[in-house]
Amino acid sequence: MTQKEKQKYDIIIKVPVTRDQLEMIHQRMREAHTDNRAAFIRKMALDGYFLEMDTSPIKESNRLLRSVSNNFNQVARLANSTGNVYETDLADMAQKLNRLWDMQTRLMEKILQTK
């Protein structure tokens, strides 16, 4: 049994809201991609905020990391088997690494701006 399953909510808090306020709560829940109203309201009451992030730069960064890793493995295999490494392979890897570093820098700047 996980810690979450062990946790019991034995106190109920009722808060009256208007229809407009309820719609605003539902809108924020949609923005947070959740349909669990109790968990959402509990999180907002305890932490006071939720963070919505566009994860597409992270996904692109991960894709580039996989690509660069594969390239390194291919170049290492080629170097071990033939003793030769092609300059075009190294240039391709350098270009992907530069794109990756640029992406990481922009991502970190965005994260630091949200604080």
Q: Where are the domains of the chain?
A: 12-47, 56-113
Residues 40/28, Cβ–Cβ less than 8 Å: yes
pLDDT string in tens for the chain (115-residue length)? 465 656 788 899 999 999 999 999 999 999 888 999 999 999 899 887 766 677 787 788 888 888 888 888 888 888 778 877 778 877 888 888 888 888 888 887 877 776 5
Residue 114: the pLDDT is: 64
CA atoms within 13 A on the CB side of 22: 5
pTM for the whole thing? 0.41
Whole-angstrom CA distances from 89 to 65, 72, 73, 114 are: 16, 9, 11, 38
Residue 76: the pLDDT is: 81
CA atoms within 13 A on the CB side of 63: 8
Residues 107/61, Cβ–Cβ less than 8 Å: yes
What separation, in Å, do the N-terminal and C-terminal C-alpha atoms of the chain show? 35
Residue 36: the pLDDT is: 93
| Residue 38: alpha-carbon gap to chain centroid | 24
